[in-house]
Homo-oligomer: A and B are copies of this chain.
Amino acid sequence: MKWLPRALAPMLPLLLLMLLRPAWAVEEDGYDLWLRYRPLEKTAQAQLRARATALVYAGGRGAIGATGEAAVAELRRGLEGMLGAAPALGASVKDGAIVLGTPATLPEAAALDLAPLGKEGYLVRSMRLRGHRVTLIAANSDIGLLYGAFAWLRAASTGAGVDFARELRSAPRLQLRVLNHWDNLNRTVERGYAGESIWNWWALPEIRDRRHVDYGRANASLGINGTVLNNVNSKPDILTAPWIAKAAAVADTLRPYGIKVYLSARFSTPLELGATKTADPLDPAVAAWWRAKADEIYKSIPDFGGFLVKANSEGQPGPQDYKRSHADGANMLAAALAPHQGVVMWRAFVYAHEKPDDRAKQAYDEFKPLDGTFAPNVLVQVKNGAIDFQPREPAHPLFGAMPNTPLMMEFQITKEYLGFATHTAYLGTMYEETLATDMGNGNGTVARILERGAGPKDQPRSLTGMAGVANIGSDRTWSGSHFDQANWYAYGRLAWDPRAGAREIAREWVAQTFSPDPRVTAPVVDLLMMSREAVVNYMTPLGLHHLMGTGHHHGPAPWVDDLGRPDWNPVYYHRAGRDGVGFDRTATGSDAVAQYAPELARRYADPRATPEPLLLWFHHLPWDYRMASGRTLWTELVARYDLGVAQAEDMRGRWLRLKPAIDARRHAEVLMALDKQLLEARWWRDACVAYFQSVSGLPLPAGAPAPERSLDHYKSLRFPYAPGNG
């Protein structure tokens, strides 16, 4: 905090006041996320104070509901933090007041063209109201007001909006903005690297965790409006009465924040609970059971969101067990939920026991023929890429291929394949890369495809949505590390607006999370923006994928070739041999390129036209293939691994130089993580280079550092206690 005293010197009284507090009480431990509301610099404080002289909820104290209360409480919390004091909720409009109003509570709001904002959008405008200069936060509903309050606080706390030259006007481009918790009922989290589940099922429903309120606040600040509480690898228990009561307690806590609760449903639930003799979706008894179950759930959770289903994938039961289609299964559940306005999110990540032709092709092969056959309250949830959340994948070919079915994006926020919570890898750039991919065929970008939903372009939109596999746990930082909070943030902001830019999102996050001072934001944003590419380089450069260790997915294991089925093995994906490396997905190989629109298919079919970062995803090329750089593929590959390590070193160096500008605890904690990341980056490089060298038989390129240890050493490493396998 060395630079802070200087910046804060003019506000000595408040500073002295803070010095009188026990030092540890203000230590930054990350719990406050991007909602820290720390004291502003003096000038900004004076400006803000003049624009926060009063706080008025237009409907009056009597009309305020839980969501309105949350908006007012958040504004007060923010002002208390940034200014040292906040006005109480008052009734009379005066100069400098902040006024919250909807057309129902504030006649003047009706004139502001709020209809296009829909239920959730908001307008924040500096304007005259009843003769006074006020800041109006307007929306069509209280949840819009809450989102508007957060937008105003974001602007104020990042220094961006204190003078409000521009109005803030925004509405979400997607309807369902959902977190998927892969949280198990015993509180472990599959692919979770941030401690235990925040859902302490054992204690619920009687004992409610105050942390869930802060979870609601954080998500509402991003516009996230749904959360699936339990793992897609689900258990029948979650739909029994005791667990519905637990979920209802969580729903009660989250409701004021505009967040609906969903549950992952196991397709065979009635069968496994002994209530039916089959789980066949066309069996009337099965359908009746699900209808009754939906009715039961809605009695406890009147705004229950619906079911997320992983079926006929990785051993999960599903309609195909009864020779029925995914649509048969999804539609049966959808019929049970429809009377209550619930939805089914049906995952397209299918990955069955049979046919290891090319795993990348399976989802498209199974789902494209079903286009147009799903009920209107079903969304098909498609992962960003066709394999499984690798550090880099081309956009999934299903995007644009199912025009009559609403597709919901599934991103992974938790870093299963990108170094767990230890490695810094800002995923905003990865999400942006997928969302900005033009899928051809006149469909436009993935973002546009998601926004459009199903049906003809000129018709009212169907359901739309985006899902993010949460990186949230009981860790004090929520996400397992300070920088991983940025991925939660970026996901949420992109779910609200899939066309937003990763860099601007990073800037917003850094400004709120560390400091709005450009001496902090600029270098930290640069660090974040380079971070994911660094991980790609030291793990899986040039389109390589699935080189990681078995089961836990930690560390390099490109040599693994002995697992139960071919497409579990890294060698299946890289296909390295004396002759070259890479997966031929052109017509001479698996022809996965044919799943893309012709324009994209042509590009991906030609190694010269394929973007170099995806080269070995689509092509098997000889080691002496000449790259754009003029280097051979082998030399380029090794250079990329080296570059990744150099980038990890660079990131560490950049952070080290920021020491005077960052609070001591978080600086030290991030630095420890970057130290570990650098060790593991070297390990990835050395193990992969040693392995590919053993396969190519080629000498190391001149100047390339030799691997530190032998290939046998890297092969011998075991990680039986890795997190996330729970």
B-binding residues in A (CB < 8 A): 14, 17, 20-26, 29, 37, 77, 80-81, 84-85, 184-188, 195-196, 201-203, 206-208, 210-211, 237, 420, 422, 474-476, 665, 669, 672-673, 675-676, 679, 720-723
Which 3 pairs across A and B sit closest by C-beta, in order of nearness? A206-B676, A186-B721, A185-B721
Chain B residues, CB < 8 A from A23 = 77, 80
Determine how close the nearest CB of chain B comes to the CB of A672; give it in whole angstroms.
4
Chain B residues with CB under 8 A of A420:
202
- Cβ-closest chain B residue relative to A554: B202
**CB pairs A–B below 8 angstroms (10 shown):** A14-B20, A17-B20, A23-B80, A25-B25, A187-B721, A203-B676, A206-B672, A206-B673, A207-B673, A474-B474
Chain B residues in 8 Å Cβ range of A81: 22
B720 touches A474 (CB 8 A): no
Whether B22 contacts A721 by the Cβ 8 Å rule is no
- Residue contact A422 to B675, C-beta cutoff 8 Å: no
- Chain B residues whose C-beta falls within 8 Å of the C-beta of A676 in the assembled complex: 203, 206-207
Complex Cα gap A61–B37 (Å): 38
The reply to whether B85 and A20 form a contact with Cβ atoms under 8 Å apart is yes
Q: Which of B196, B237, B679 contacts A206 (CB 8 A)?
A: B679
16 other contacts beyond A187-B721, A208-B672, with CB at 8 A cut-off? A17-B20, A20-B84, A21-B21, A22-B37, A22-B77, A22-B80, A25-B25, A195-B196, A196-B196, A202-B420, A207-B422, A207-B672, A207-B673, A237-B721, A474-B474, A474-B475
What separation, in Å, do the CA atoms of A14 and B20 have in the docked complex? 9
- Shortest A477–chain B CB gap in Å is 11
A80: chain B residues at CB < 8 Å are 22-23
Interface residues of chain A: helix, strand, loop or mixed (majority): loop
A420 to B675, CA, bound (A): 39
Which residues of B have CB within 8 Å of A210?
Answer: 29, 665, 669
Q: Are B85 and A723 closer than 8 Å at their CB atoms?
A: no
Q: List, in ascending order, chain B residues with CB within 8 A of A187's CB.
A: 721, 723
**CA of A206 to CA of B81, assembled, Å:** 34
Report the Cα distance A20→B720, complex, angstroms: 50
Query: Are B720 and A196 within 8 A (Cβ)?
Result: no
| Best-buried of A81, A237, A669, A721 by chain B (most CB within 10 Å) | A721
A211 to chain B, nearest CB (A): 8
Cα separation A675 to B203 with both chains bound (whole Å): 11
Chain B residue at minimal CB-CB distance from A719: B202
Which residues of the other chain, B, contact A422 by a CB distance below 8 angstroms? 203, 207
A680 (CB) vs chain B CBs: closest residue: B206
Name the residue on B nearest A723 (C-beta).
B202
The smallest C-beta distance from A229 to any residue of chain B, in angstroms, reads 14
Question: Which B residues lie within 8 Å of A185 (CB)?
Answer: 720-721
- The CA-CA distance from A17 to B186 in the complex, in Å, is 44
A721 touches B679 (CB 8 A): no
With a cutoff of 8 Å between Cβ atoms, the chain B residues found around residue A196 in the complex are: 195-196, 474
A139 vs B336: C-alpha distance in the bound complex, in angstroms? 74
Distance of A335 from chain B, by nearest CB (Å): 30
For A185, give the chain B residue with the smallest CB separation: B721
A77 adjacent to B24 (CB under 8 Å): yes
Contacts of A722 in B (CB 8 A): 202
Complex CA gap A184/B188 in Å reads: 14
Residue numbers in B under 8 Å from A201 (CB-CB): 721
In the complex the two chains form, what is the Cα distance from A296 to B641 in whole Å?
Answer: 35
- Min CB distance A550 to B, Å, is 17
- Closest Cβ of chain B to A423, distance in Å, is 12
CB distance from A203 to the nearest CB of B (A): 7
The distance in angstroms between the C-alpha atoms of A475 and B675, with both chains bound, is: 27
Q: Which residues of B contact A207 (CB under 8 A)?
A: 422, 669, 672-673, 676
Q: Please, which residue of chain B has its CB at the minimum distance from the CB of A421?
A: B203
Given the contacts A23-B77, A207-B676, A672-B208, A721 and B85 also touching, CB distance less than 8 Å: no
Contacting A195 at CB < 8 Å: which of B22, B85, B186, B474?
B474
Which B residues are in CB contact (< 8 Å) with A672? 206-208
